A and B are shown apart, each in its own frame.
Chain A
Amino acid sequence: MKILVCISKTPDTTAKIAFTANNTKFDTNGVQWIINPYDEWYSLVRAIELKEAEPSTLIHLVTAGAADTDPIIRKALALGGDEAIRVNTDSHDSFYIASQIAEVAKQGNYDLVFTGKETIDYNGSSIGGMVAELLDFPFISLATKFELKSNKATVTREIEGGEEVCEVELPIVVSCAKGVAEQRIPNMRGIMAARTRPLKVVEPVAADTLTSVQSFGLPPAKAGVKLVAADNVEELVRLLHEEAKMI
């Protein structure tokens, strides 16, 4: 069993969001970087659990990024994973990145490709589906449970107002959401071991770029809260009805 876990570097949840270069670039000044939470908490941890249950399992991590992504991939390796591959690119186009990951996946002949449900920066939720199409694998999105029995996966996924349980044979691509696994904290042994695990850097293959960000912007600031006295709830209902026109 070979599992490929896609890892993305994202700004910390609490990072201040600002833009530079005439609103065309994210301002990285002072930003703390983390492993995209969905990649870390759900897909990587579930892969580690599968390896704990079946020690012959190999876990490889893949990321697309420049050299400044290395600390993030090392941090992921400290949680678990046998080796990591970084495709050396600073592209932000989903199709370009998916093409790189699909190439790594083809070369490594993986049975299972895991992604997080989306990244917390571009919120595209696109990489998993694109990689699945490029590999011609089934794609199960927004998984909340993932069980494996030899070559067959039983996956529970979110649907509107409930969940659906499906069975599918490997190879597959799965995007993981809350429920698949629980967050883990790396321990000292993992951190030390991560230093010696291989981190391969490969150059990108030729691929199309289908989109580009023309500009960024911040939503208009809220006008400020309008407070209503606790003994005058009727006034809140009146405001919601007449002013906000929401009820």
Chain B
Amino acid sequence: MSVLIFIDVAEGHVKKASLEVLTYGAKVAGQSGTTAEGVVLGSVTEDLSALGKYGVKKIHQVNNEILNHFDAQVYTRVIAQVAGSTGAKIIIFSNNVDGKAIAPRLSARLKAGLVSGAVALPDTTNGFVVKKNVFSGKAFANVSLNTNIKIISLSPNAYKTEATQGIAEIIPFNATVEASRVKVVAVNKASGEVPLTEAEIVVSAGRGMKGPENWGIVEDLAHSLHAALACSRPVADAHWRPHNEHVGQTGIAIAPNLYIAIGISGAIQHLAGVNRSKVIVVINKDPEAPFFKAADYGIIGDAFEILPKFTEAVKKMKGVA
């Protein structure tokens, strides 16, 4: 009986989302008076034992070359073996790209109830109930898991990482690893940029910027805040910005701490992808823009005048001007 947390890595580095699930998983273990254990697949270049500071006591590592490439089918079988051997009753993933592929597979394999996109700790006062967002962030549901083994995939950026003290014991795990049927032929990543789904601050701009040549002042603001860049659908469709920056219902759904929307009117489809942001700032010259209704802070005015001042004020506040 323990809580097993999947530690997701990319190119040997532990993802930020993994630190969130470690913190969350340790809290879940605390709730049920058991210990939190981690599982990591493939080789990792950083010191895993340092993850103990997020509350995990043991980390089971399956080191096999096949696992250095992600394949949900292969990963699921290995995690099932670790879960079986550790007697895990609660298994936790991040609801990130990899978690969305593995958690449902594992749920079907173990016949373990799954809550995907959890946003809070389980409520165990009457059964085992986990809160998640539904209707694209317009509502939430309290989902009851009725099975002996339970799986939670935690919405990225929904649970704050907390580090204290502690060293985790790294235990090599000898699993049967079958060959992958999926061959990875290329990985294309924008280097040095903050991945949109992991970003705590997102600066996003829309048609109000009038053309791709005007994005310099948007980028300046993003850099001053260490923020990721995003855009609205018309901007991506017009190829002003790459598609992987498109947030909204058809693009990527995000939930950063701070979302700054510039020259975006706030159509319902756009809001569906960003309404889980904790604080929303809207800059728009149209006082009737529907986005103001969903905003916490707003400025009615011309982005071309406001953005340079915004960037300067941020730099000044951070003492780097």
Chain A residues in the interface with B (C-beta under 8 A): 11, 13-14, 17, 19, 37, 41, 94-95, 98, 120-134, 136-142, 144, 154, 157-169, 178-179, 208-219, 222-223, 225-230, 233-234, 236-241, 244, 246-247
Question: Quick one: closest A residue to B138, CB to CB?
Answer: A17
- B119 CB, min distance to chain A CBs, angstroms: 10
Tell me, in angstroms, the Cα distance from A244 to B145 when the chains sit together.
35
Question: Quick one: closest B residue to A207, CB to CB?
Answer: B111
Query: Residues of B within 8 Å of A, CB-based: how many?
Result: 98
Number of A-B contacts (CB under 8 A): 272
**Per-residue interface assignment for chain B, residues 222 to 250, with 1 indicating a CB less than 8 Å from any chain A CB and 0 otherwise:** 00010000000000000000011010011
- B294 CB, min distance to chain A CBs, angstroms: 6
Is the C-beta of B162 less than 8 angstroms from some C-beta in chain A? no
Q: Say whether A226 contacts B297, CB under 8 Å.
A: yes
Q: Say whether B258 contacts A246, CB under 8 Å.
A: yes
Partner of B189, one of A11, A162, A213: A162
Residues on B with C-beta less than 8 A from A240 are: 258, 279, 281, 297
Known: A123-B132, A210-B146. 11 other contacts (CB 8 A): A120-B249, A122-B141, A141-B100, A166-B182, A178-B243, A210-B147, A215-B141, A225-B296, A227-B299, A228-B299, A240-B258
Q: Say whether A121 contacts B134, CB under 8 Å.
A: yes
Question: Quick one: closest B residue to A238, CB to CB?
Answer: B317
Q: Say whether A236 contacts B281, CB under 8 Å.
A: yes
Residues on A with C-beta less than 8 A from B15 are: 160
Q: Say whether B101 contacts A213, CB under 8 Å.
A: no
Residues on B with C-beta less than 8 A from A121 are: 134-135
Q: Say whether A133 contacts B310, CB under 8 Å.
A: no
Is the C-beta of B314 less than 8 angstroms from some C-beta in chain A? yes
Tell me, in angstroms, the Cα distance from A95 to B114 when the chains sit together.
9
Tell me, in angstroms, the Cα distance from A238 to B310 when the chains sit together.
11
Q: Say whether B250 contacts A37, CB under 8 Å.
A: yes
Question: Quick one: closest B residue to A157, CB to CB?
Answer: B97
Q: Say whether B184 contacts A227, CB under 8 Å.
A: no
Q: Say whether A167 contacts B317, CB under 8 Å.
A: no
Residues on B with C-beta less than 8 A from A230 are: 299-302, 305-306
Within 8 A of A (CB), among B174-200: 181-190, 193-198
- B306 CB, min distance to chain A CBs, angstroms: 6
Given A130-B107, A222-B294: A167 touches B182 (CB 8 Å cut-off): yes
Residues on A with C-beta less than 8 A from B163 are: none
Residues on B with C-beta less than 8 A from A158 are: 97, 244, 252
Residues on B with C-beta less than 8 A from A210 are: 107, 111-114, 145-147
Residues on B with C-beta less than 8 A from A14 are: 268
**Per-residue interface assignment for chain B, residues 116 to 134, with 1 indicating a CB less than 8 Å from any chain A CB and 0 otherwise:** 1100000000010100111
Is the C-beta of B257 less than 8 angstroms from some C-beta in chain A? yes
Max chain A CB contacts within 10 Å: which of B137, B147, B194, B196? Answer: B147
Partner of B104, one of A13, A41, A130, A233: A130
Within 8 A of A (CB), among B266-317: 268-269, 272, 278-279, 281-282, 292-302, 305-306, 309-310, 313-314, 316-317
Is the C-beta of B208 less than 8 angstroms from some C-beta in chain A? no
Question: Quick one: closest A residue to B227, CB to CB?
Answer: A247
- B203 CB, min distance to chain A CBs, angstroms: 11
Residues on B with C-beta less than 8 A from A244 are: 258, 279, 296-297
Q: Say whether A13 contacts B297, CB under 8 Å.
A: no
Is the C-beta of B320 less than 8 angstroms from some C-beta in chain A? no
- A31 CB, min distance to chain B CBs, angstroms: 11
Q: Say whether B182 contacts A123, CB under 8 Å.
A: no
